[in-house]
């Protein structure tokens, strides 16, 4: 039988750190002290039972204060497990520490989980939709979700995306640290299809990823695969699900007691892995049980499975001791890591006691290994330098928007300091026009996105322009969501073309065609508007697919025809200027932009051969409105009507004068006769009759 044991099996660094801390608390425990874990420290029944036997009790959150109050004479120490707790619980525990001097909290939340808390808190708002790929009932998931603001959803597959409305939202996708990497990749791929503005954070723990990938490789080459871990452990369940796909004959056990007495004859190759919450002791006992059915030497197998350390490795160590000039690290191997102050910081005044505490996890680079002395010289500065580029690479892979300060400029572009690295932004990606003075950006803080990354050369190219365009697109999307036909805006004319004017209506441009600029025909929009001018416009048409807006500018109040017919009616007499002559009549302008036709028959009371016989272009004459065709916007005018009316009036006036003169004569004659009669009256005796 060939047995392969996963090198990544068992406690992950976070769990190992928590286990080390709890065991130190147990070692230093006084008779007047009680130690608790907030729920099970890790999801392993046997481990939890072992802690309980050593006096460490698992306690529910709601029971903490009552327990502290019931035993005021004792010191109470609460350990927060690696899964972490909710934001509300964290705040409540801080208040409890301030309230009760005999109560203290030791936070052993996994640094990887803490990172997701920070991501959720700093990257979510009312404009985002936070998505967490997780087991929504898992304590880690519940804690993470509490740090997100705005809309948030716990999802378990790509199918869950279909029921979420991302309109006007920026999706933020993270994962529980122990989730399936392959499924997470599928969710990312599908979310990218749904939303072009999604932001991704790869938060599956690298240890989990390595454990899963290694387990799959071992399972693919095994007749029998054994997965060790508690039944309530999420990461162990994921291991089992992955292994059973690669090796149908996969066992999930909690300890060696769950193994059969012997294995099937066909099990010539056996693989063994374990979840992050499985103690080394349980793994060892399982290996022993398997070895009872194998002629291989057990001690040799254990020796083969011991992790070795080599110069150039990067490993995680747990702080064991702290001195003024160095710290000692448990590297999980047979040698102790020595990390000097010079390999930690360039600041000679730095205090290592302030920077570290026992139990902290520190990533270090192995400089030299001395097996005989049992020591390894390691460097944190080297890891920090490499990690800064790892962070840059993660930002590139995740498409993150970075913020940095422009520190210098040259003809080729600018240098931006971001994530403790210098990132070059080419001239074409600065967002400035060609030929612009790039030095104007020096000293300013800019947002940028990485567009190229060379891992080998540790070089990155960034783009300010991409971010500016994305922000502009986001603003336009928000504006487009409010646009409706008929909406009125005060816009600014941005530029003119031969066919119309482009107007900014508050972040998006619309086009006012020449025919919409004026009621009269114009050759160029500059006849009506100028660049920079503010004008009142309204939306006539919207093309959401092509993102085109047709605007209207002219209104009825601006219509000279409307204004003219509103102020005049048929039979009104108005002055008119002759603007053109034709064989059939003359066109006369009665108001700016409003013309009417004087038919040849309506020009003169006398017969004429052509309008030019009596009229010239430029003549100003009085005309009478004889018809208003509002539908076709036409006026019929007449000079003859005025002339005829004048002639009739003159004739009537002459007749009236003639009648008045005749009447005057008659009245004068009557007066004369009356005067004569009066003169003769004394001489008349009787009636003549």
Q: Which member of 34, 62, 88, 140 is catalytic? A: 140
Nearest partner of 377 among 366, 363, 362, judged by Cα: 366
- Three-state secondary structure readout of 510-540: EEEEHHHHCCCCCCCHHHCCCCCCEEEEEEE
The verdict on 243 and 198 lying in the same domain is: no
The verdict on 211 and 268 lying in the same domain is: yes
Nearest partner of 337 among 378, 381, 308, judged by Cα: 378
**CA–CA separation, 435 vs 248, rounded Å?**
65
Which two structure tokens, joined as six digits, stand for 662?
Answer: 């005749």
Which two structure tokens, joined as six digits, stand for 344?
Answer: 């930690």
Give a yes or no: residue 288 inside a domain. yes
The verdict on 601 and 644 lying in the same domain is: yes
The verdict on 97 and 24 lying in the same domain is: yes
The verdict on 590 and 674 lying in the same domain is: yes
**pLDDT score, position 686:** 58
**pLDDT score, position 300:** 42
Query: What is the per-residue DSSP string for 87-155?
Result: HHHHHHHHHHHHH-TTEEEEE---HHHHHHHHHHHHH--TTEEEEEES-TTSHHHHHHHHT--SEEEEE
The verdict on 227 and 188 lying in the same domain is: no
DSSP for residue 18: H
The verdict on 371 and 250 lying in the same domain is: no
> Taking the C-alpha atoms of 222, 224, 226 and 232 in order, what is their torsion angle to the nearest 10 degrees?
110
Beta bridge partners of 424: 415, 461
The verdict on 320 and 367 lying in the same domain is: yes
CB 117 within 8 A of CB 172: no
Which two structure tokens, joined as six digits, stand for 602?
Answer: 């309506």
CB 205 within 8 A of CB 112: yes
Give a yes or no: residue 590 inside a domain. yes
Give a yes or no: residue 309 inside a domain. no
Which two structure tokens, joined as six digits, stand for 418?
Answer: 């971001």
Question: How many domains is the chain built from?
Answer: 6
CB 201 within 8 A of CB 148: no
Checking DSSP bridges between strand 459-463 and strand 445-454, what pairing results, if any?
antiparallel
* End residue of a domain, out of 471, 491, 512: 471
The verdict on 74 and 211 lying in the same domain is: yes
* End residue of a domain, out of 302, 325, 352: 302
Residues 6 or more apart in contact with residue 276 via CB below 8 angstroms: 10, 11, 12, 14, 15, 42, 178, 207, 208, 211, 233, 235, 236
The verdict on 75 and 218 lying in the same domain is: yes
To 5 degrees, how large is the angle CA 41–CA 308–CA 246? 65
φ/ψ (deg, to 5) at 105 = -120, 135
The verdict on 62 and 26 lying in the same domain is: yes
Give CA separation, 510 vs 404, 472, 495, 599, in Å.
Answer: 35, 16, 11, 44
Give a yes or no: residue 390 inside a domain. no
Give a yes or no: residue 393 inside a domain. no
* End residue of a domain, out of 249, 268, 302: 302
- 140 catalytic, yes or no? yes
Radius of gyration of the chain (CA): 48
**pLDDT score, position 161:** 93
**pLDDT score, position 302:** 40
Q: Which domain holds residue 634?
A: 568-689
Along the chain (689 residues), what's the average pLDDT of each consecutive run of 10 residues? 82 82 88 90 81 89 89 92 93 92 92 93 94 91 95 93 90 90 90 91 84 90 89 83 90 83 62 87 83 52 53 86 87 82 85 88 89 81 76 85 90 85 90 87 93 82 92 85 89 92 90 84 88 91 88 72 85 92 93 89 89 92 91 90 84 84 85 85 64
Output the pTM of the full model: 0.42
Helix (H) or strand (E) holding 576: strand 573-582
State the CATH number of the domain containing residue 58: 3.40.1010.20
To 5 degrees, how large is the angle CA 346–CA 347–CA 352? 105
State the CATH number of the domain containing residue 417: 2.40.50.140
**pLDDT score, position 116:** 95
Give a yes or no: residue 389 inside a domain. no
* Burial degree of 405 (CB within 10 A; 0-12, 13-18, 19+): middle
**pLDDT score, position 145:** 96
Give a yes or no: residue 93 inside a domain. yes
The verdict on 174 and 273 lying in the same domain is: no
Give a yes or no: residue 308 inside a domain. no
């Amino acid at each position: 039988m060939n047995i392969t044991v996963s090198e990544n099996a068992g406690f992950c660094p976070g769990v190992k750190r928590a286990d080390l801390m709890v065991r130190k608390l147990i070692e230093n425990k006084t008779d007047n002290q009680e130690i608790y874990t907030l729920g099970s420290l890790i999801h392993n029944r046997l481990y939890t039972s072992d802690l309980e036997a050593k006096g460490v009790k698992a306690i529910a959150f709601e029971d903490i204060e009552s327990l502290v109050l019931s035993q005021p004479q004792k010191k109470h120490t609460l350990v927060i497990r690696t899964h972490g707790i909710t934001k509300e619980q964290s705040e409540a525990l801080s208040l409890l520490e301030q309230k009760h001097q005999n109560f203290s909290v030791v936070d052993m939340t996994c640094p990887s989980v803490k990172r997701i808390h920070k991501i959720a808190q700093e990257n979510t708002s009312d404009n985002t939709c936070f998505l967490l790929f997780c087991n929504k009932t898992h304590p880690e998931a519940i804690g993470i979700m509490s740090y997100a603001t705005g809309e948030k959803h716990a999802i378990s597959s790509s199918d869950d995306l279909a029921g979420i409305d991302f309109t006007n939202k920026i999706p933020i996708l993270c994962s529980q640290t122990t989730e399936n990497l392959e499924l997470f990749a599928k969710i990312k791929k599908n979310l990218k299809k749904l939303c072009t503005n999604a932001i991704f954070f790869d938060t599956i723990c690298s240890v989990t990823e390595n454990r899963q990938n290694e387990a799959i490789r071992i399972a693919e080459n095994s007749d029998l695969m054994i997965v060790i871990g508690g039944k309530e452990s999420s990461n162990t369940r994921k291991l089992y699900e992955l292994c059973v796909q690669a090796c149908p004959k996969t066992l999930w056990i909690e300890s060696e007691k769950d193994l059969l007495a012997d294995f099937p004859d066909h099990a010539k190759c056996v693989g063994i892995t374990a979840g992050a919450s499985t103690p080394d002791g349980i793994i060892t006992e399982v290996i022993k049980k398997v070895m009872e059915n194998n002629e291989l030497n057990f001690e040799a197998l254990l020796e083969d499975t011991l992790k070795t350390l080599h110069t150039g490795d990067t490993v995680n160590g747990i702080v064991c001791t702290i001195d003024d000039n160095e710290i000692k690290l448990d590297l999980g191997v047979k040698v102790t890591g020595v990390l000097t102050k010079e390999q930690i910081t360039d600041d000679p005044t730095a205090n290592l006691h302030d920077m570290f505490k026992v139990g902290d996890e520190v990533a270090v680079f192995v400089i030299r290994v001395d097996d005989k002395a049992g020591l390894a010289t390691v460097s944190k500065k080297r890891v920090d330098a490499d990690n800064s580029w790892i962070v840059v690479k993660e930002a590139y892979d995740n498409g993150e928007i970075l913020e940095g300060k422009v520190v210098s400029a040259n003809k080729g572009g600018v240098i931006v300091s971001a994530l403790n690295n210098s990132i070059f932004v080419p001239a074409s990606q600065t967002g400035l026009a060609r030929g612009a003075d790039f030095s104007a950006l020096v000293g300013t803080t800019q947002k940028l996105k990485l567009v190229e990354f060379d891992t080998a050369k540790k070089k990155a190219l960034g783009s300010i322009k991409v971010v500016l365009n994305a922000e502009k697109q986001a603003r336009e999307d928000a504006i487009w969501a409010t646009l409706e036909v008929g909406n009125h805006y005060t816009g600014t004319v941005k530029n003119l073309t031969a066919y119309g004017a482009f107007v900014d209506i508050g972040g998006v441009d619309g086009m006012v065609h020449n025919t919409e600029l004026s009621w009269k025909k114009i050759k160029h929009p500059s006849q009506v508007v100028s660049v920079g001018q503010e004008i009142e416009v309204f939306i006539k048409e919207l093309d959401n697919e092509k993102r085109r807006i047709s605007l209207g500018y002219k209104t009825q109040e601006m219509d000279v025809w409307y204004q003219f017919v509103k102020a005049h009616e048929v039979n009104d007499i108005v002055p008119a200027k002759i603007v053109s002559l034709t064989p059939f009549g003359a066109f006369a302008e009665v108001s700016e932009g409003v013309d009417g036709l004087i038919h040849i028959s309506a020009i003169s009371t006398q017969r004429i051969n052509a309008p030019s016989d009596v009229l010239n272009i430029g003549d100003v004459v009085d005309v009478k409105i004889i018809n208003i065709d509002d539908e076709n916007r036409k006026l019929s005018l007449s000079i003859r009507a005025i002339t005829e009316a004048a002639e009739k009036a003159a004739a009537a006036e002459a007749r009236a004068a003639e009648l008045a003169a005749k009447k005057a004569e008659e009245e004068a004659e009557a007066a004369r006769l009356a005067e004569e009669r009066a003169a003769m009256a004394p001489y008349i005796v009787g009636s003549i009759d």
